[in-house]
Each structure stands twice: as structure tokens, then as C-alpha cells.
Amino acid sequence: MNLSEILAKGHTIGISGHTKPDGDCIGSTLGLYNYIKLYYPEKEVSLYLEEPPSEFLFLHGVDEIKHEKEENKVFDVYFALDCGDSKRLGEFGEHFENAHFTACVDHHKSNLSFADDNYIVPEASSTSELIFNLMEQEKITKEIAECLYLGMVHDTGVFQYSCTHASTMNAAGVLMDKGIDYSRIVDESYYEKTLAQNKILAKAVLDAECYFDGQVIYTVVTQKEMEEFGVTTKDLSGIVNQIRITKGVEVAVFVYENKEQDYKVSMRSKRFVDVSEIAVRHGGGGHARAAGVNISGSEKEVKDLILKELSKYF
């Protein structure tokens, strides 16, 4: 994929990432948006995402993100980032479907190359690393570097998960040289929690149950508990990582109630269970070691389904 060739195809450029945007989604889309805005001032570029969680609001350009779709707008070029399929773009999928030319940059194993031009690397740490590869390194400013570094930090669990490669560390090194406050990015966007977020995390850990001789750990947060703790679904991001580090665990499953009879399931594995297989079988997606899916049904039905799927591996 060649960024300048794609941008030469038109004047109006749109960018989106997946619904409920995470660090990589926001970092990669905003990094690309800032780059196009700075080096292609003659183009009309817009970034469309759902409202980002508060820990990402310090990034440059975040206040320019649009949250409403444009009715009947036909973009010349539209980028889908960090998305395995166009449905994951939510309402902005319409922009993508109507665009004259589409491009997709992603690292989901489940990605079926759904755009006109696709740069899909399932082994890549993050979409942010792939966006880094598409940019001219000397043109990466401190503000752009902050976006991409944050994205890499979030999808690698601070350069820890097995998706972290030498290429990831090399890219991170180049970004560090741009003068970013890397330690602060990690601390304030990844680790820092409000007291309410910490308390709901503690509650979820306290309620966790183990199965298959401690190889699976499972916990749920309901809407009622979110109300009780004064949090929303945006406040639950660190929970699955916290239960995952329990000694002896291969698979960690964190479930939250999205709305009545609708649950979001997050799965993480350590060594041998490909959790994306389970997610894909039920309409979700992801990577071998981190995947997600939305399942409708009761709390018990969701649990029975996931444990039945996991029983095939243990």
C-alpha cells in the first residue's frame, strides 16, 4: 500500500475505526488524520469515531473528531482502520460503502480484505505500527508520534504480548526520538484509573470463578453493578488483563452486560487457545490471543455457551 498514491485518488478523504474505539483504533486513525491534515493541506480530511474514553482526550486533534455520520456524503477516498469487517465501522460503514475508493489497514486475523486496497498483517502488533510503516519517518511529528506510540502501547499491553516484535520496538524507538513523553503516555492512558474504575475492577476480580482446573477464569459485570459503582462500559477496559495474570490461567473471559439480553465477551489467552476461533464462530473477531464477540441471551446462557466452547480445548 502506498499512502500518497491512495491520497492522489481524490479530494475528500474520510477515516474511521471500529465502534467502541480502543487505544490502537484512536491512535492509528488520529495519527493518520493529523499526518494528512499537515502534509496534504489541499485535501478535505475528516475523522469519524464514536466518543473516545477520557484517557485518550489529550491526543492532538481529538477535538476535531466527528461523531455523527454525514447523510448521503460520497467520499473520494475512505480509510477503515483496525477493523476486521465493514460492519465494525458501525454507522460510519455507510461512508465506507458509498466511497469511490476504499482502503483498509488492519491486523485482525479475521479480516477478509474487504476494501479496494488492503494492507492486512495479522502478525502485526497493532494498526498503529502499520500506519507508522506507511508514513515517511522524517515527516512524523511529535503529535503524530504520540498517537502511534499510544496505539502500540495499548495493543501490546505495554510491549509485553506475543504480538510485540523487533519491528514494534524499532518503530517505538523512532517514535521516542520524536520527543514524546512516553512514560506519561503509558501511565496516564494505560495504567491510570479513577477510583470508581478501580473499585469495579476489584469487584470483578472478587467475583471471578475458575474452571478446568484453574485454566479458565471467568467474571461478569452487570448493568446493575455499573450503576451501583457509578461507571459505564467505557470504564471496564483493564479488567480482562487483570484476571488474565492469575497464575495457572490459559484463558481469561470478561463479560459485561451491554444492554438487557446483550453481552460483550472479551477473551484473552496465553499460549495455546486461539480465542479468535471462538469469537468468529459467534459473529465476533480478533486475534489468537485477544478476541471479542457480542452475544445475545441471558447471563447464564452466555456463560454456558463460552464454557462449552472452551471445553473443546481442555
Q: Note the residues at the interface with ligand AMP (CB under 6 A).
A: 18, 22, 84, 88, 108, 266, 284-287, 290-294
**The entry of ligand AMP, Mn ion, none that residue 309 binds, CB within 5 to 8 Å by partner kind:** none
Compare residues 4 and 246 and give the one whose CB is closer to ligand AMP.
Answer: 246
In angstroms, give the least distance from the CB of 157 to ligand AMP: 11
In angstroms, give the least distance from the CB of 110 to ligand AMP: 7
In angstroms, give the least distance from the CB of 104 to ligand AMP: 13
**Which residues face 253 on adjacent strands?**
218, 267
In the numeric block, the cell 486461539 is attached to 274
Half-sphere exposure of 135 (CA within 13 A, CB side): 28
All three cell numbers of 225: 453493578
Pairing between β-strand 209-211 and β-strand 117-120 as defined by DSSP bridges: unpaired
In angstroms, give the least distance from the CB of 306 to ligand AMP: 13
Among 82, 129, 235, 309, binds Mn ion (CB under 5 A): 82
309 binds Mn ion (CB under 5 A): no
Distance (Å, rounded) from C-alpha 246 to C-alpha 217? 8
**Which residues face 78 on adjacent strands?**
14, 102
Compare residues 37 and 108 and give the one whose CB is closer to ligand AMP.
Answer: 108
The closest residue (CB) to ligand AMP is: 292
Spell out the SS3 assignment of 171-194: HHHHHHCCCCCHHHHHHHHHHCCC
257 binds Mn ion (CB under 5 A): no
Restricting to residues 8-27, name those near Mn ion by CB under 5 A: 22, 24-25
In angstroms, give the least distance from the CB of 184 to ligand AMP: 23
50 binds Mn ion (CB under 5 A): no
Distance (Å, rounded) from C-alpha 259 to C-alpha 83? 23
33 and 45 in contact (C-beta within 8 Å)?
A: yes
106 binds Mn ion (CB under 5 A): no
